[in-house]
Structure 1
Amino acid sequence: MGKLTINFTATIDRPIGTVHHGTTYPINYGYIPDIIAGDGEEQDVYILSNLPENQVPLSKFTGKLIAIIRRKDDNEDKWVLTTADENFTKEEIIRQTHFMEQYFDSKVELFDEK
């Protein structure tokens, strides 16, 4: 039996290069419409991809859920999406989301972990 893959379409509201509260976003960041997170807002997502077509500011992205970043000192988790053909290790996810997660006590859980 193969791995379970769950795809979501994210609306990108902080594309690569966006400066938000003094932080420049090096990756696309957005939310999943109609899924409500712990903060009462739509579920936030980091978009990770090494493909050139995803290394530019995007407005939408459809991809698979590969990880959940659990924040121990915040009331919401962050999801991590990537393309169907890409995968990232915990270390790669930590490195690419460090620009924001450095301010939180967070832990990366790969989606397919038991």
Structure 2
Amino acid sequence: MGDSTDFWFKLDQLVAASNLKIDRPKGTSHPPYPSLVYPLDYGYLQDTRSGDGSDIDVWIGSLSSQTVTAVICGVDLEKRDTEIKILLDCTSEESRVILDIHNTGSQSAILLVRK
């Protein structure tokens, strides 16, 4: 069994060493699904790889600690893929709102919260 402290520390290192690009600011609509309005800034870590072959996705919350607060692990039956979403500086309520977004349609997700 791995050390969960090391897991979170390494995620923090990955975020700190990456260029965070926000391509969907809070309040904007999802391009193919305009009814989905982003409740928080959403972006990605440039030059990283996620399960879908794209850069690792990141939700950015309202805290200012520059710390990974949680991770969402999701599966999408329509896309036939799995991936994680990093939650950076998210409160418990923000994490719950994001989790709900990833539990719709062909998607299902769980939330792993940093202790």
TM range (shorter): 0.5 to 0.7
Match of 1:79 among 68, 75, 85: 85
Q: What residue ranges of structure 1 are gaps of 5+ in the alignment?
A: 55-61
Q: What TM-score do you get using the length of structure 2 for normalisation?
A: 0.62
Matches of 1:18 and 1:48 in 2, distance apart?
15
Q: CA RMSD in A?
A: 3.0
User: What letter matches 1:110 in structure 2?
Assistant: V
Structure number having the greater helix percentage: 2
User: Does 1 or 2 have the higher relative contact order (CA < 8 Å, sep 6+)?
Assistant: 1
State the identity %: 26
Is 1:96 aligned to residue 98 of structure 2? yes
Residue number in structure 1 paired with 2:74: 70
1:32 and 2:45 aligned: yes
Structure 2 distance, partners of 1:101, 1:78, is 13
Q: 11, 21, 29: which one pairs with 1:11?
A: 21
With the length of structure 1 as denominator, give the TM-score of the two structures.
Answer: 0.63
Q: Alpha-carbon deviation of 1:15?
A: 0.6
The change in CA–CA distance for 1:78 and 1:105 in structure 2 (over 3 A counts) is same
Question: Displacement, 1:11?
Answer: 1.1
Unaligned runs of 5+ in 2: none
Number of equivalenced pairs: 97
